[in-house]
A and B are shown apart, each in its own frame.
Chain A
Amino acid sequence: MTTLEPGRAPGVTPDRAPGGPRGGEPVQAGLPALPPAPTPGAPGPADLAGPPRRRAVRVSEGAVLGGVCTGLAQYFGWPVLVVRIVFVGLAIAQLFGVLAYGALWLLMPAASTVDAPGLEAATRTGMRTGGRPRRRSVDWGAVLALAALGTGMLWLVQTSGLGVSQRLFWPVAFACVGAALVWRQADSSAQQRWRAEAGGRVWLAPLVARGGWPALVRVIVGLGLVGASFGLVVAQYNQLAQLPQVLAMTLLALAGIAVVIAPWLHRSRAALNEARAEKVRADARADMAAHLHDSVLQTLAMIQKQSEDPRAVAQLARRQERELRGWLYADDVPEASLKAALTAAAAEVEDERGVPVELVVVGDCDTSDAVQALVRAAREAMVNAAKHSGADKIDVYAEVTETLVEVFVRDRGAGFDLDAVADDRHGVRGSILNRMARHGGRASVRSQPGDGTEVRLEVTR
């Protein structure tokens, strides 16, 4: 969600600065000293803002009602079920849990997930299906158990005489369910998007949203329940005979209010549509910016300058491709991880030697001393392959299991006879075999003249 308008930015996603990430990292023009290879996916400007403050958010995935419990559970690191039981329990105590839940629903912002810009753009323009995971199917067993638990306890409390007075109980229960229905409608994912556009006028959401007939039914049933609770109160405190008059009066009053606010409602809706259209345009501009990102322009300029040197051009193109690919599609890789280190090493070798390195990493782990040694040895192996094998690409595969970290560096190049390598040749023995041995790891080289080389490195975690 990159918003390019400072004026009407809704301010829900402060984690991406205008202009797209990595704005401050252009490719240095024409210098042999290459810029440090960017770790894919790490958004540049986020670093400037310091570590983001952690706050509890509502999580709609796996939510039963508003996602408050799921959000709290994630925030505190407790199991969701425990939080839910606490709320159900609190609900018994003079409906305190219900009030607390409602308040938290209003106060906790909804979680917003941010995709890589390339994926967001592709989703937005309909180039791919299913950007977001579907709302997970609710675990009805758990819901049923909670409901049974709540009902039972409620019944217990009510019969013991400690609960809410009988006159209030049903109206309040109805009103709660009704409000929950309407609020949840206001909360559904479609509205979440434009709620951001509308600057958070939550209250209008169910009334002016376009959500299809299920939404309509939910809102009507919800409002109906609230109305019924109102009717119940009236019926209990006055005589039942007066109910029609009271209802008529209420309806009249509501109709009056509706007439008064109708133009305002209409205007809000128009403004909302306007905002939506504006957002679409802004998104389109942002997508464009993503495509014509600074670094691409820089690289194009450099290619023009160096057009007589095909090797340099290929190298530039390859580096740009890697950077762009990393920015558009890659996952967020923690900086001090094996994956990031290997990616950086592979990129360096690619840039220095001009041989593409195909890197596949399964699993990931933090970089301990041994893992760092492993990465350096792997880098040495890649450099060797690029220098001596003559292969047109190098395959690197790393796998992290619970006990072991393994890296394979393979080329389909010339190969060599391991026994024939002189002892003083530093590369293989010193940098790879001995280094791994020093750090308690193992290394083996398999090579045959004409059949390529594979270096296998491993350390225990």
Chain B
Amino acid sequence: MTTSPEPSGLGGGSAAQRPGPADGTQRPLRVVVVDDHAMFRTGVKAEIGRSLAVVGEAEDVDRAVRVVLEQRPDVVLLDVHLPGGGGVEVLRRVHEREPEQRFLALSVSDAAEDVIGVIRGGARGYVTKSISGPELVDAVRRVAEGDAVFSPRLAGFVLDAFSGAIDVAAVDEDLDRLSVREREVMRLIARGYAYKEVAKELFISIKTVETHVSSVLRKLQLSNRHQLTRWATDRRLV
């Protein structure tokens, strides 16, 4: 784990100075769990409760927004499908008030449009619910530090979405293409490599891997071609 004092957030510049996640002390990270299945919430709490502090939970959009704004946790574990408009709605409403709040999406749905949708909505990562406890703790820590968490599946979606299939005419070059390095990193993640292994494979530092992944996340969120969402939708009809 790196200890960057100032996690590089997306927009930056929020006036409210809340205690940074990596301020040196051993205080456990504060997490809010948002999921409409009580059984799942209990399970997650049992799994991560030893290393993280679960400071709140919610089962629908309204409660989630309230609890998150009240608690200001380091990371929100957010289900994609929720009563009241889904995780995307929670992201939208919380980010209106608190643009720096970090979210990690957690879902059973592997539908591409949901995954892309929630990432574009502002989540800093996406993992499936079958993830093991230690892996989840690790992912939360990464998100709290301002990095992105890409599962192999998400990396696959990204490679698909940014492949040549989308016409590249009349799009913003910088935002709409992956650099060679970013593509390499994505491919290794899709092959099941952890960040550490990616770094070793490409002879770069873990920090550089994280930078590449964050930059891909940024492209995924900011690239404003509607083709990206259209891709996710069309893919289901082909």
Contacts and interface: CB of A to CB of B under 8 A. Distances in A.
A113 B233 CA distance: 11
Nearest to B88: A129
A361 B236 contact: no
A115 B155 contact: no
A77 to B, nearest CB: 16
Interface residues of A, number: 35
A275 to B, nearest CB: 26
B204 interface: no
Which among A133, A321, A356, A360 has the greatest number of chain B C-beta atoms within 10 A? Answer: A360
B187 A363 contact: no
Q: Which 6 A-B pairs have the closest CB atoms?
A: A395-B192, A360-B156, A127-B81, A128-B86, A397-B191, A329-B111
A397 B83 contact: no
B190 A362 contact: yes
A252 interface: no
Which among B87, B190, B191 has the greatest number of chain A C-beta atoms within 10 A? Answer: B191
Contacts of B89: 129
Contact of B109 (A118, A125, A399, A410): A118
A347 to B, nearest CB: 15
Nearest to A40: B110
Interface string A351-377: 000001010111100000000000000
Contact of B83 (A116, A125, A136): A125
A408 B187 CA distance: 10
A399 B192 contact: no
Given A129-B85, A330-B110, A360 B190 contact: yes
A397 B156 contact: yes
B45 to A, nearest CB: 21
Interface string B68-104: 0000000000001111111111000000000000000
B39 to A, nearest CB: 14
Nearest to B92: A129
B1 interface: no
B123 interface: no
Given A125-B83, A127-B82, A133 B111 contact: no
Contact of A410 (B36, B114, B191): B191
B224 to A, nearest CB: 13
Given A129-B86, A330-B111, A397-B191, 14 more contacts: A125-B83, A126-B85, A127-B36, A127-B83, A128-B80, A128-B86, A128-B117, A129-B117, A133-B233, A325-B108, A329-B108, A395-B192, A410-B191, A454-B191
A457 to B, nearest CB: 12
A397 B156 CA distance: 8
Interface in A118-134: 118-119, 122, 125-130, 133
Given A126-B83, A133-B230, A395-B191, A329 B109 contact: yes
A25 interface: no
A332 interface: yes
B233 to A, nearest CB: 5
A114 to B, nearest CB: 9
B172 interface: no
A417 interface: no
A410 B192 contact: yes
Contacts of A118: 109
Contacts of B236: 115-116, 331-332
Which among A136, A331, A412 has the greatest number of chain B C-beta atoms within 10 A? Answer: A331
22 contacts: A113-B237, A118-B109, A122-B109, A126-B85, A126-B86, A127-B83, A133-B230, A321-B130, A325-B108, A329-B110, A329-B111, A331-B112, A358-B153, A360-B152, A361-B156, A362-B163, A363-B163, A395-B192, A397-B152, A397-B190, A397-B192, A399-B159
Nearest to B236: A331
A260 to B, nearest CB: 45
B211 to A, nearest CB: 23
Nearest to A130: B117
Interface string B148-188: 00001101100110011000000000000000000000010
A123 B117 CA distance: 14
B191 A362 contact: no
Nearest to B118: A128
B16 interface: no
A108 to B, nearest CB: 19
